[in-house]
Each structure stands twice: as structure tokens, then as C-alpha cells.
Amino acid sequence: MIINVGIIGATGHTGEILIELLLGHPNVKITHLYNSGKSGQGACVISDVFPKFKKRLDLVCGKPDFNQIKKDCDLVFLALPHTVSMQFTPKLLKLGKRVIDLSADYRIKNPSVYEKAYKVTHQDKSNLKEAIYGLPELSRAKIKTAKLLANPGCYPTSAILGIAPLLAVNLVDTDSIIIDAKSGVSGAGKKVEKEYLFSEIQGDFRAYKVNVHQHAPEIEQALSKVSGKKINVVFVPHLLPIERGILSTIYLKKAKGAKLKVKNVVELYKKFYKNEPFIRIKPDGVFPRIKDVVKTNFCDIGVKDFGSTIIVICAIDNLLKGASAQAVQNMNIMYKLPETAGLL
């Protein structure tokens, strides 16, 4: 099987990495590349933007052409900023194309919650209802038949995967979940802003959007689904002076009277994720680090029971498991390919 793929938003971080991954995928042909369609954006050859693609992929990257897409694409990746994807999605779905959206536009099911978090009006509420939230470890069955797939955010991926096994067995207090997350600067995309300049970041470490980050509702929505109860989290992100990677340290209180049915929490996690190709559980007392997951689609998890408190530490690459590689993993599931194809 060969999947003919188009990418809209090919010149950003996630677009670049998608191209790299798909060029090495045995079942994919990249047929067209497009920019975001902003006024003033001219056409360019992708290998002029990213010279590493010279003689590997020399396609022209211009404004989205729906006639080309109709004729030549089975699937379209939207590697676009939040609020931009919803401008393209309805047209693509009407053409009968499957869509994997890497923005937040279709992740949060309640449009009013999305609008509060992202401070814009949602323009495609009808398709929002049909979108499948694509965290493979929790939603694999629904992903298989998805027409519109909402690829999870980077912080939510690390937090949800870190907490889900505990909520699934009602082991922790749902009113006391604290997520202390740190990300490399690539999580901000290619913004040209003072706070992301090398001179501002190098040698510094700071919190930002303390307990008001737009990813919090996405985390709460997914965890509420696992738990069956309304979940609220305290979520504090931090900016690390590194290019990429996320390390989330999660603090949870044990629920009153909760008892483990396995030897310890490490065994609980191993059992929960036993068939997952991209989850690696650390031995008891050993915790992950960013260096071990950068440039991979792996999620490394360490967990320790301290009596009344459980601490979970989760590491991912924000650009891969937190974005582009997870999108490819979802594509593999959608087309019934080996889940690891193009990713190991």
C-alpha cells in the first residue's frame, strides 16, 4: 500500500519533521507541499528552505491548491498554527480526504472551552463533533476509522500518558493532581519574539502561563474520560534553555482506601502499557531524562510510590511523540499499517 500525502504548513518545525519522517516511510509518497496560504507568502522549493532535502525532495511549496489535493492526495497533514487549521479542514473533508491536524483546533470537544483557552471563536463546530482525539495508547480503536484526527498537544501527551494508569484503577485523589512540566524552546514554534531569543533563554529557566496554559483543558478532558469523573489539574509549564524535549513531574495523592491489585505501581504501569510499542517504563526508583527520548517517538515513564504520595516523571520529544511522529503513528493506525512503520 502507498498513501499519497500532502502537507499544509510544510515550512514550520512540525512540517519539516513530518517531511523527514515520511521520506523514510515505506508506505508513503509525498505528493504536494503547501504553506499556510498567508498573504505575502510566495512559492518556494522546499529544499531551498531546508537544504538537507536537496535531491531527496525538491517539490515546490506554494499556496494550498485544492484541485491538486483532490486529484493526488489520500491524506493531508495540517502542520499549522492553532486557529488556522479550521480554515482548511471543511474543504478537505468535503473532498473526501482524511485529515490529521497537528493544531489544537479539533482537540477540545466543548467549543466554549476552546474559545476561552485560545481566545478565538471556533469556526467549524460541526466537524469538531466528529473529530477523534488521537492518543494511540488510549484511543486506538477509534483512530482506525477516523476521517478527522486531532493530534494531541505536546504537554498533554506527556501528562496524560503519565497519569492515565493511576486514574484507570482509581488509585489517586482526582482533586489533587499537580503537573510541573518543562519544555525546550521549540515548543513555541518559529516565533520571532524577544522572550525566545538565544540571549534571553540561554542560562535561564522560568515558569510561564502559570495554571492558565491553553493545554490544561485538553489534559483535563482526556483524564476525565479515563477517570469517569470531572478532573481539574494544577498545570505549571516551564521554559528550558534547550532546543527540544519535555520532562513532566507529576504529583498525586493516593485516594483513601485505595489498594493496588499488583505488586507495586511500576507493575501497574507495565501491565497498563504492556502492548505499547512506544512506551518504556523505568525500573522502580529509576526516572527518565530528556536525552534518552530526544529524536525518538518514545515516552519514558518513571513512577514511585512514597506512601501517601505517588510521583510520576515522564519524558518525550515535544516535536516527535509530542507532534509529528505521533501524527505518523496515528496515520499508521488509520491505514492498518504496522504502528512502528517509519518510526524505528
Which residues are catalytic, by number?
154
- State the distance between the two ends of the chain, measured CA to CA, in whole angstroms: 19
Q: What's the CA angle centered on 230, arms 224 and 231, to 5 degrees? A: 70
State how beta strands 148-150 and 98-101 pair.
parallel
In the chain, which ranges are continuous DSSP H helix? 13-23, 46-49, 66-72, 85-94, 111-118, 125-130, 136-143, 154-168, 198-201, 216-227, 265-272, 324-334
Residue 284: CB atoms within 10 A of its CB come to 14
Residue 140: CB atoms within 10 A of its CB come to 15
Element housing 298 (H / E): none
CA distance 133 to 146: 9
